[in-house]
C-alpha cells in the first residue's frame, strides 16, 4: 500500500505493521539462473506456523528463525525502540513497532524493508530443498543454490497509532490474532447464517463475523452520489474538523475528516488494512469502490442494511465467501418485512444509519464525486 502522503515516517510513533506471505513463489532473476518455485521444488511457501484449535501458535522451524531474525533486527537499528507485541501467523506477521527519537533517525520504510530481507533470508536458511542437476529429485542431491524468491508481498501495510485509546486496541488485536484465526476456522458455517445479536444493549440482525465490531479502528464512510455537493448533504452530525492534523487515520474522538474527492477517498480507504474496518451502507458507487479498496488492502467491511433480513437470507456469492472468511459483517437494526420500502422510508433509514455509523466509529471519511 502507499504510505500516508505528507507524513514524516521518521517520527517516533507506534506503527502497526503487517507483512503478508505471497501466495505463489515468483521467478527471481540472478547471475546463476532463475530461482523459481519449480527450481526449488515448491510452488507455494510453507506456513510460518500453525494454529491449534485452542487458538495458540504452534511454532515450527520457520517460526523460530523468524523470532531470532526479529530480535537481531531490533538490536541492530537504533531507530527501533521496541517491537511489542508481535505475532507470527501461518501466512502473515503483525508487529507493533515503536520508532525511537534519535539523531539521524531513519524512516519506517527503511527499517521494515530491512526486516523483510532478514525474514526472507531466515526462511530460506530453514527450507533449502534438495534439487539435483537433472531436476528429477534425489535425497542425496545438493540444496538449491539459485537466488531465493521473495516470501513476502512487495506491498505491506502500516497504521500510525496516534489516537488516544487505540494503542491498547492494537495490542489486543495482535495478541488475540491466533484465537480469532481458530474461531474463524471452527465457525465458518456460523458466519454464513443470519442470526440476532446484542450489541451495546440493542438487538440487531447479523450475518457474518460479529467480532468485527470489536476492532480497534472502525471508519465510517459516506460517499455521496453524483450531482450532490457539500451544501446539499444532510448534516446528520456536525462534527468539528481537526485543525491540528489532516491525517484521516488519526482524528481525535468526535472529529470528522474534511470532505474529499473520489481519489482522496480511495487513497484513505486503501490505508484501512488489517485491524481496521470500513463501516457504511456501501450503496453509492463511491462507497462500493471504497469497500473494494478496503478488501484489497486486507481490511474488512461492516455493511449496514436498510432492509431487515431473516434467518433464510443470504448475500451474493462473493459477499458470502467474505463472510465465511470472517472479513464481512451485515448488520441491520430493522426487522424483516415482506413489503418493499418506499423512497421516503429508504431516505429516512439511510440517514438514520449514517447517524449510527458516526456514533459507533472511530474515524469518518466523506467524499463527493
**Residue 5 belongs to a domain:** no
- Are both 18 and 72 inside the same structural domain? yes
**Residue 220 belongs to a domain:** yes
Residue 83 contacts residue 74 (beta carbons within 8 Å) = yes
- Are both 210 and 137 inside the same structural domain? no
Residue 124 contacts residue 28 (beta carbons within 8 Å) = no
Chain CA centroid to CA 50, Å: 20
- Are both 136 and 205 inside the same structural domain? no
Cα separation, 121 vs 364, whole angstroms: 41
Instruction: pLDDT band for 227, please (50, 70, 90 cuts).
Output: low
- Are both 274 and 358 inside the same structural domain? yes
- Are both 294 and 193 inside the same structural domain? yes
**Residue 286 belongs to a domain:** yes
- Are both 241 and 352 inside the same structural domain? yes
Q: Between the ranges 19-23, 74-78, 129-133, 192-196, where is the mean pLDDT highest? A: 74-78
Beta bridge partners of 50: 58
The mean pLDDT value of the chain amounts to: 82
Cβ atoms < 10 Å from Cβ of 35: 22
- Are both 76 and 195 inside the same structural domain? no
Residue 299 lies in domain: 187-367
Give pLDDT, residue 190. 80
- Are both 310 and 209 inside the same structural domain? yes
Tell me how far CA of residue 304 lies from CA of 42, 239, 286, 301, in angstroms. Answer: 43, 21, 16, 10
Starting at the earlier edge strand, list the strands of the sheet with 202-208: 195-199, 202-208, 328-332, 300-304, 276-280, 217-223, 363-367
Matching residue, cell 467524499: 367
Query: What are the pLDDT digits (tens) for 106-165?
Result: 999 999 999 999 999 999 999 765 444 444 444 444 444 445 688 999 889 999 998 778
Domain holding 141: CATH number?
3.30.70.1290
**Residue 180 belongs to a domain:** no
Domain holding 297: CATH number?
3.40.50
Instruction: pLDDT band for 43, please (50, 70, 90 cuts).
Output: low
Query: What are the pLDDT digits (tens) for 349-359?
Result: 988 998 899 89
**Residue 175 belongs to a domain:** no
Tell me how far CA of residue 87 lies from CA of 92, 178, 270, 287, 296, in angstroms. Answer: 9, 8, 23, 32, 22
**List of residues 6+ apart from 152 with CB closer than 8 A:** 19, 20, 21, 22, 116, 119, 120
For residue 293, pLDDT beyond 70: yes
- Are both 130 and 221 inside the same structural domain? no
- Are both 214 and 292 inside the same structural domain? yes
**Residue 140 belongs to a domain:** yes
Amino acid at each position: 500500500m502507499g504510505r500516508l502522503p505528507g507524513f514524516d515516517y521518521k517520527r517516533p510513533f507506534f506503527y502497526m505493521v503487517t507483512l503478508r506471505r505471497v501466495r505463489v513463489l515468483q521467478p527471481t532473476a540472478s547471475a546463476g539462473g532463475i530461482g523459481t518455485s519449480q527450481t526449488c521444488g515448491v510452488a507455494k511457501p510453507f506456513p510460518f506456523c500453525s494454529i491449534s484449535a485452542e487458538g495458540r501458535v504452534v511454532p515450527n522451524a520457520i517460526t523460530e528463525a523468524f523470532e531470532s531474525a526479529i530480535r537481531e533486527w531490533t538490536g541492530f537499528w537504533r531507530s527501533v525502540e521496541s517491537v511489542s507485541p508481535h505475532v507470527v501467523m501461518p501466512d502473515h506477521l503483525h508487529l507493533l513497532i515503536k520508532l525511537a527519537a534519535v539523531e539521524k533517525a531513519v524512516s519506517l520504510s527503511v527499517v521494515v524493508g530491512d526486516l523483510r530481507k532478514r525474514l526472507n533470508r531466515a526462511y530460506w536458511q530453514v527450507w533449502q530443498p534438495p534439487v539435483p542437476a537433472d531436476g528429477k529429485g534425489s535425497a542425496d542431491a545438493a540444496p538449491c543454490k539459485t537466488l531465493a524468491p521473495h516470501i513476502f508481498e512487495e506491498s505491506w501495510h502500516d497504521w500510525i497509532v496516534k489516537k488516544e485509546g487505540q494503542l491498547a486496541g492494537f495490542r489486543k488485536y495482535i495478541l488475540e490474532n491466533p484465537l480469532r484465526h481458530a474461531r474463524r476456522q471452527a465457525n465458518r458455517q456460523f458466519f454464513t447464517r443470519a442470526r440476532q445479536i446484542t450489541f451495546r444493549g440493542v438487538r440487531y440482525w447479523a450475518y457474518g463475523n460479529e467480532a468485527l465490531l470489536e476492532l480497534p479502528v472502525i471508519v465510517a464512510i459516506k460517499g455521496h452520489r453524483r450531482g450532490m455537493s457539500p451544501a446539499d448533504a444532510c448534516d446528520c452530525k456536525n462534527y468539528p474538523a481537526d485543525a491540528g492534523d489532516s491525517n484521516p487515520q488519526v482524528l481525535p474522538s468526535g472529529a470528522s475528516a474534511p470532505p474529499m474527492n473520489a481519489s482522496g477517498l480511495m487513497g484513505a480507504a486503501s490505508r484501512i488494512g488489517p485491524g481496521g474496518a470500513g463501516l457504511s451502507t456501501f450503496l453509492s458507487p463511491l462507497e462500493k469502490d471504497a469497500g473494494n479498496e478496503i478488501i484489497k488492502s486486507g481490511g474488512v467491511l461492516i455493511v449496514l442494511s436498510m432492509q431487515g433480513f431473516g434467518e433464510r437470507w443470504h448475500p451474493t456469492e462473493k459477499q458470502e465467501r467474505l463472510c465465511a472468511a470472517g472479513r464481512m459483517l451485515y448488520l441491520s437494526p430493522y426487522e424483516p418485512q415482506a413489503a418493499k420500502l418506499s423512497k421516503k422510508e429508504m431516505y429516512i433509514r439511510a440517514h438514520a444509519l449514517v447517524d449510527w455509523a458516526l456514533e459507533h466509529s472511530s474515524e469518518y471519511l466523506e467524499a463527493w464525486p
